Amino acid sequence: MKAAMFLFIALLAVSKAKVFSRCELARALKAAGMDGYRGISLANWVCLAKWESDYNTNAINNNSDGSSDYGIFQINSRWWCNNHRTPTENGCRINCSELLSANLHVAIQCAKRVVRDPNGISAWVAWRNKCRGRDLNQYVSGCGV
């Protein structure tokens, strides 16, 4: 019984979604090598996450083409992950639900894959509308990164 309860709590801990604070996310992304990845500074990634998901790993939004966007970077099911519901290229070779984890590992690896495409970070509409060409210092200031 105790073992079963422990397992239950352990499973909750790994699957539970999470809303990051700005600096907490900045530090996690930096630790994962996102600062300067493909020439993209850390502040761009934090800005992108702010406007795509408001730092919520559990965010899911539907698009007019029937696809959906998942997780802190709102990665799209038509191109990058499989939601077992709509057609996909599944470029990241993952289940879309893996992008909702409090552990950012899968989402970060997939975001790195997205920006290796020719469009780079311009793939994200919110980055184009809210981050491109702006002073992004506010997204990392005071975070010690």
Instruction: Restricting to residues 54-83, name those near ligand NAG by CB under 6 A.
Output: 62, 68
Under the binding rule (CB under 6 A), the answer on residue 95 touching ligand NAG is yes
- Check if 98 is active-site: no
Closer Cβ to ligand NAG, 44 or 77, answer by number: 77
Tokens of 7: 């397992």
CB of 115 to ligand NAG, least distance (A): 24
CB of 143 to ligand NAG, least distance (A): 31
The whole-angstrom separation of Cα 80 and Cα 116 is 12
Annotated active-site residue in 54, 69, 89, 98: 69
DSSP states of 40-100: B-HHHHHHHHHHHHTTBTT-EEE-TTS-EEETTTTEETTTT-B-SSS----TT-SBGGGGG
Give the residues lining the site for ligand NAG (CB under 6 A).
Answer: 62, 68, 84, 95, 97
